[in-house]
């Protein structure tokens, strides 16, 4: 594969969003709030969740997983509290990064590729109480173009805190030296349990060299913690993302339409295919006909709400708790704040009860025939989902964009497919003589003809959930072929086996999967 051919490879795989929605949350113990955090993330369509003070322990790597999210964690060693975590959607073009050693700081980060910007780095950072911000704290910003979430004791009147402390002054100086912006929500994020202490803004975001607009930053009155979660939306200035839709295809209608073969596009296929050009035309005509039928049989509908349904009493309790938290935020009297804390405790206890009841019910109903039986067994036996490591280029730097990744994979495949150096001259001479002998023989047309029964057998064995090729024709569509279309496919394959297979039949989508535990392409 030459360099120009590699550069023309289409990007394949994960989603590169135009806008991104992030949620920063100081949990003060993540395990007790994980169900409510999942509901909040689904309600606000959060792409990346940044968590501080997780209180998670390294000996329990499966704790606090979220459905459809990849979990990254930095647990504090030898202490019961602290720790950071980051969740990103599995569909995002996102990968974990290695954070350089930091003094007094805990951090977890990832690299996200966006269609409207390129690669940016997002980091969840936590400064424990009674710890000072170190002077040499620019390491997270040396990783690229970060959008970072920082928390705890960074107080300054510049972002509407009650007063400025020593860490706040250091942060202001650091912002001037490194040219980054401090993005703070307009309302308080910290509501101390001691009602004598005033609420304040402690949860802020830092952005450097990110050419995206801040569409929204607001404090949400959700979740159980003395810190409220902060929602941040960034994106280009040309509008919001369109609402998510999904495509529904009527396969019954596809089967009925594919029975009709008297169409202009199919009638133009020659009865006797003789040349490779005619094979190419026949394949193109057949592919276009199937694609048109599928498009005519499909429609777009709004994506269904994927949120887990909570019991009615839990939803009522959550609604009352959120209302009490909004009331305590607007009017922070002792009575309002005490009421909010009491409802937080009730929600926490009821969520834990719901979680235990759900697990008990599953254990009572689980059998080998249950839909979730083998999925649960696999989850209990495995270490959980391991994020795909980033590829490294020959100069030991990370491959960030699609072109660099394609080059890494192409170099690896090229090396594997290169001619091996044979040191045994006698063996090499014998191989060359054998090849010349085979070439000198008369060609024999001894291939068995392709039959309709053979095609039907292979189509029946196709798995419907396999991904389609470059033509976009899925196995489910091929299973809808009528008998005349199968006869046409037999004619194409028969002539292709005697002449030359079309270039369309030689192309495929190749997705490289690095070996587990390595950051290099497989050799």
* pLDDT at residue 23 in the model: 93
Confidence of residue 1 (pLDDT cuts 50, 70, 90): very low
How far apart CA 9 and CA 2 sit, in angstroms, is 11
* pLDDT at residue 147 in the model: 52
| Proportion of the chain above pLDDT 90, given as a percent | 13
Choose between 518 and 272: higher pLDDT: 272
* pLDDT at residue 25 in the model: 92
Q: Which are the contacts of 83, defined by CB distance < 8 A and separation ≥ 6?
A: 52, 53, 54, 55, 56, 73, 74, 75, 76, 106, 126
DSSP letters, 454-522, are HHHHHHHT--TTSPP-TT---HHHHTT--HHHHHHHHHHHHHHHHS---GGGG-------PPTT-SS--
Q: Which are the contacts of 463, defined by CB distance < 8 A and separation ≥ 6?
A: 475
Kindly tell me the sign of the dihedral angle through the C-alpha atoms of 311, 312, 318, 322.
positive
Note the pLDDT tens digit of each residue in 331-358: 888 888 889 889 988 988 888 888 888 8
* pLDDT at residue 391 in the model: 74
Interhelix angle 452-460/483-498, nearest 10 degrees: 110
pTM of the entire structure?
A: 0.67
* pLDDT at residue 289 in the model: 92
Cα–Cα distances (Å) from 437 to 205, 422, 431, 433, in that order, read: 72, 20, 10, 6
Highest mean pLDDT range out of 83-87, 195-199, 351-355, 439-443?
A: 83-87
Note the pLDDT tens digit of each residue in 436-459: 888 787 766 666 778 889 989 999
Lookup: tokens for 257: 């339409």
Q: Is 50 exposed, middle or buried (0-12, 13-18, 19+ CB in 10 A)?
A: buried
* pLDDT at residue 12 in the model: 37
Q: Is 359 exposed, middle or buried (0-12, 13-18, 19+ CB in 10 A)?
A: exposed
Confidence of residue 389 (pLDDT cuts 50, 70, 90): low
Rg of the chain (C-alpha set): 30
Note the pLDDT tens digit of each residue in 480-499: 998 888 988 888 888 777 66
Q: Is 450 exposed, middle or buried (0-12, 13-18, 19+ CB in 10 A)?
A: middle
For the residues 13-17, what does the mean pLDDT come to? 74
Number of CB atoms found within 10 A of residue 168's CB: 21
* pLDDT at residue 6 in the model: 36
* Model confidence at 224: pLDDT above 60: yes
* pLDDT at residue 21 in the model: 93
For the chain, domains (ranges, CATH) are: 15-241 (3.60.10.10), 245-302+446-506 (no CATH), 309-385 (no CATH)
């Amino acid at each position: 594969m030459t360099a120009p051919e590699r550069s023309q490879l289409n990007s394949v795989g994960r989603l590169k969003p135009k806008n991104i929605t992030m949620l920063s949350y100081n949990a003060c113990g993540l395990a007790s709030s994980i169900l409510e955090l999942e509901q909040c993330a689904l309600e606000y369509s959060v792409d990346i969740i940044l968590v501080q003070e997780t209180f998670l322990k390294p000996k329990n790597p499966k704790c606090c997983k979220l459905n459809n999210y990849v979990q990254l964690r930095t647990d504090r060693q030898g202490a019961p509290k602290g720790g950071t975590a980051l969740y990103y959607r599995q569909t995002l073009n996102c990968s974990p990064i290695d954070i350089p050693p930091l003094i007094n700081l805990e951090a977890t980060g990832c690299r996200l590729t966006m269609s409207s910007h390129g690669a940016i780095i997002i980091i969840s950072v936590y400064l424990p109480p009674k710890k000072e911000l170190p002077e040499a704290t620019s390491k997270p910003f040396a990783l690229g173009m970060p959008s970072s979430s920082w928390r705890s004791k960074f107080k300054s009147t510049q972002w509407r805190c009650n007063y400025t402390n020593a860490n706040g002054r250091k942060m202001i100086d650091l912002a001037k030296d490194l040219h980054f912006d401090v993005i703070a929500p307009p309302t308080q994020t910290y509501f101390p349990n001691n009602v004598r202490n005033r609420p304040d803004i402690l949860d802020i975001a830092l952005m450097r060299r990110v050419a995206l607009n801040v569409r929204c930053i607001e404090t949400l009155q959700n979740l159980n913690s003395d810190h409220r979660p902060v929602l941040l939306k960034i994106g280009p200035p040309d509008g919001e993302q369109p609402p998510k839709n999904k495509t529904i295809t009527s396969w019954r209608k596809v089967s009925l339409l594919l029975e009709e073969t008297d169409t202009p596009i199919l009638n133009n296929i020659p009865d006797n295919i003789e040349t490779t050009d005619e094979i190419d035309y026949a394949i193109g005509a057949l592919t276009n006909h199937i694609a048109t039928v599928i498009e005519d049989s499909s429609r777009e509908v709004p994506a269904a709400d994927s949120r887990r349904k909570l019991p009615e009493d839990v939803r009522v309790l959550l609604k009352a708790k959120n209302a009490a938290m909004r009331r305590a935020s607007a009017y922070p009297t002792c009575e309002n704040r005490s009421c909010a804390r009491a409802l937080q405790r009730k929600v926490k206890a009821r969520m834990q009860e719901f979680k235990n009841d759900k697990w008990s019910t599953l254990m009572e109903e689980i059998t080998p025939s249950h839909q979730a039986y083998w999925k649960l067994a696999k989850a209990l036996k495995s270490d959980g989902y391991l994020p795909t490591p980033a590829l490294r280029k020959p100069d030991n730097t990370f491959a960030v964009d699609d072109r660099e990744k394609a080059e890494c994979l192409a170099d690896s495949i090229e090396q594997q497919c290169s001619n091996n150096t044979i040191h045994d001259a006698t063996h090499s001479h014998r191989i060359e003589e054998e090849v010349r002998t085979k070439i000198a023989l008369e060609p024999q047309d001894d291939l068995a003809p392709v039959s309709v029964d053979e095609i039907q057998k292979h189509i029946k064995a196709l798995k419907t959930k396999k991904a389609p090729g470059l033509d976009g024709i899925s196995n489910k569509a091929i299973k809808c072929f009528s008998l005349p279309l199968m006869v046409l496919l037999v004619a194409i394959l028969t002539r292709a086996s005697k002449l030359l297979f079309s270039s369309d039949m030689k192309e495929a989508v190749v997705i490289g999967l690095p070996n587990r535990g390595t950051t290099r392409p497989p050799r």
